[in-house]
A and B are shown apart, each in its own frame.
Chain A
Amino acid sequence: NAGVTQTPKFQVLKTGQSMTLQCAQDMNHNSMYWYRQDPGMGLRLIYYSASEGTTDKGEVPNGYNVSRLNKREFSLRLESAAPSQTSVYFCASNTDRVGNQPQHFGDGTRLSIL
């Protein structure tokens, strides 16, 4: 059971470089989410996609873009990485669109921006 798969697991970038974080789920879930986790701040929602073909901003969208490529895949792109984007990034998915089911999380991507 793969669940939610994130790649890569670790990445180091230089300021100004671009990168795409990949996320795929094999549970036929409708909704997908990207969070960042920083010490003392919990998880903060960057972007989400309630269904295939739609994306919406979360709490901290600045500096990021997303693409819901199909029902399975939801990618997060950093166009010009900044040190403030050093964080652990989690992708999650949910079978429904209104929060009546728990989210399922991937293992995370640890990203360092130098």
Chain B
Amino acid sequence: AQSVSQHNHHVILSEAASLELGCNYSYGGTVNLFWYVQYPGQHLQLLLKYFSGDPLVKGIKGFEAEFIKSKFSFNLRKPSVQWSDTAEYFCAVNPPIYNQGGKLIFGQGTELSVKP
């Protein structure tokens, strides 16, 4: 079945460590890709998105992601994490456009805990 996979379910880092969260999808064709963040007790907020163009996209709060088409991947990175980055991170894909209504398919989520 077509899907979105996030490899890490729970990541624990110390402050200032580097972060990379994996995301792979199995849809062919042109896709729109998103990373959302959910801070404890809050709703999902957009971190960054990729539609086309430069495969390295920058988002809010120092996050960036790289789209590698040949690997069907869209990994999230941050050079130096802070305690305030503790949250759950979701990769999401908008499947190829054939009357899909703009819907998103989400990965399972990765819980990031940053130790001060």
Q: Which residues of A contact B (CB under 8 A)?
A: 4, 31, 33, 35, 40-45, 48-50, 56, 58-59, 90, 92, 94, 96-103, 105-108
Contact = CB atoms under 8 A, between A and B. Distances in A.
B108 A99 contact: no
B102 A99 contact: yes
Contact of A40 (B4, B9, B103, B106): B9
A34 to B, nearest CB: 11
20 contacts: A4-B43, A31-B102, A40-B108, A41-B108, A42-B90, A43-B104, A43-B106, A45-B103, A48-B101, A49-B101, A90-B44, A97-B101, A98-B97, A98-B102, A99-B97, A99-B100, A99-B103, A102-B46, A103-B104, A106-B43
A25 to B, nearest CB: 13
Interface residues of B, number: 27
Most chain B CB atoms below 10 A, which of A56, A92, A99, A106 = A99
Contact of A90 (B6, B32, B43): B43
Closest CB pairs A-B (n = 4): A99-B94, A50-B101, A99-B102, A42-B106
A107 B105 contact: no
Contacts, number: 72
Contacts of A102: 34, 46, 49
Contacts of A98: 94, 97, 100-102
B51 A43 contact: no
Interface of B: 4, 6, 9, 32, 34, 42-46, 49, 51, 90, 92, 94, 97, 99-109
A44 B106 contact: yes
Nearest to B97: A98
